Structure 1
Amino acid sequence: MGMIREVIVVEGREDTAAIQRAVEADTIETGGSAINQEIIERIKLAQERRGVIIFTDPDHPGERIRSIISQHVPGCKHAFLPVSEARRKGEVGVEHASPEAIRRALSHVKTEMPEAEPEITMEDLRACGLVIHPGAAARREVMGILLGIGHANGKTFLKRCRIFQITREEFWKAYTQMEETLHE
């Protein structure tokens, strides 16, 4: 994969070590979810100079950090790890992922485009059983992996479809794959 141009934002030292086992890259550590203004300023500078990839844990605190950074530093790129590839001994985090899983997540980076007109609607999510469906959470998890936008609740899933400019074609192709996966 070579040297990654962008600076990768992770939560802590163990995440940095896992990233560096997988790729050659510089990181900024947020120090967990108590992300302060000094860290935000460092991320802004990195975004201006080299670009930023947010690569936080696939759990609630990780999503919270991702959201805070996105609000303060527009246009970031995002890498998402499926929970299944970030779990060890009941713990979930980037530091538990294999170098292969980390490289795979980094090869499917998505870039935020906040001004995008939405192609995917809440009605599409309803039609695909991604909301208001007994298996909605599991279905969103599979779709999130297929689309490379991570696992999220319905509202956040729809928002990610918009900010990462997921096309109708991509969405329906992933839906077809999800249906095939779930019915195997």
Structure 2
Amino acid sequence: MQHKKNIKEIVVVEGKTDSAKLKKLFNVNTIETNGLSLNKKTIHDIKKLSQKNGLILFLDPDGPGEKIRKKLIDIFPNSKNCFINKNDILSNSKKIGVAEASDESIYKAFDNIVTFNAINNSISWEEYLNLELDSKNKRISLCNKLNISYCNNKQLFKRLNMLNMSYYDIKNIIK
């Protein structure tokens, strides 16, 4: 039997099935947002639990998951982030979520944790526009290479700054 990896941070997930999936793969403490019904008590609990050990956001790669992530990043700007790609969801699944992802994609997500820094201005909007990330496919490709979830232009611009990426860093990645 494979030895489970310990994760010291508190991992925020959307639901009970996500927690169960992670606990099957890791020694980990999770807290659930119960989907979009993220309330003040849950936010208080996340704050209290994460003070000692830190925080990892691991949310579904769908609209509601991205809304929750955006809200939590605003509250906890130094949190770590794990991402799975919609393509990592098991093909027989009706839902798009952490619980429906393959074990391998979850291990990969934890091997590629991303930390955003909210105060960076590493790339200007003008430089961003010069990268010509105007097509969805170009943004998907860049997001996949950075191990972050797909997002629109405005959100990608914000995340690239939070990752402290310069115009030239990004230009080299998209070559």
Distance apart, 1:40 and its partner CA: 0.2
CA 1:129 to 1:22, structure 2 compared with 1: closer, same or farther past 3 Å? farther
Q: How many residues are paired up?
A: 171
Q: How far does the alpha carbon of each residue in 1:136-158 deviate from its partner, in whole angstroms, 9 at most, with x for none?
A: 11211111110122210000001
SS in 2 for 1:53: strand
2:16 paired with 1:17: no
In structure 2, C-alpha distance between the alignment counterparts of 1:6 and 1:160, rounded to whole Å? 22
1:181 corresponds to which residue? none
Distance apart, 1:90 and its partner CA: 4.2
TM-score where L is the length of structure 1: 0.85
SS in 2 for 1:101: helix
In structure 2, C-alpha distance between the alignment counterparts of 1:73 and 1:163, rounded to whole Å? 13
Q: Give the AA of the match of 2:39.
A: N
In structure 2, C-alpha distance between the alignment counterparts of 1:91 and 1:122, rounded to whole Å? 35
Q: Sequence identity of aligned pairs in percent?
A: 29
Q: Give the AA of the match of 1:144.
A: C
TM-score where L is the length of structure 2: 0.89
Q: Which has the higher strand share?
A: 2
Distance apart, 1:128 and its partner CA: 3.2
- Structure 2 gaps of 5+ residues are none
Q: Give the AA of the match of 2:41.
A: E
Distance apart, 1:87 and its partner CA: 5.0
CA 1:32 to 1:167, structure 2 compared with 1: closer, same or farther past 3 Å? same
RMSD between superposed Cα atoms in Å: 1.7
2:47 corresponds to which residue? 44
Q: How far does the alpha carbon of each residue in 1:65-99 deviate from its partner, in whole angstroms, 9 at most, with x for none?
A: 11111222231111111111135434211111111
Q: Give the AA of the match of 2:52.
A: R
Question: Is the Cα contact below 8 Å between 1:43 and 1:73 reproduced in 2?
Answer: no
Matched ranges for 1:65-76 at <5 A: 65-76=68-79
Matched ranges for 1:55-66 at <5 A: 55-66=58-69
SS in 2 for 1:26: strand
SS in 2 for 1:129: coil
2:87 corresponds to which residue? 84
In structure 2, C-alpha distance between the alignment counterparts of 1:164 and 1:44, rounded to whole Å? 23
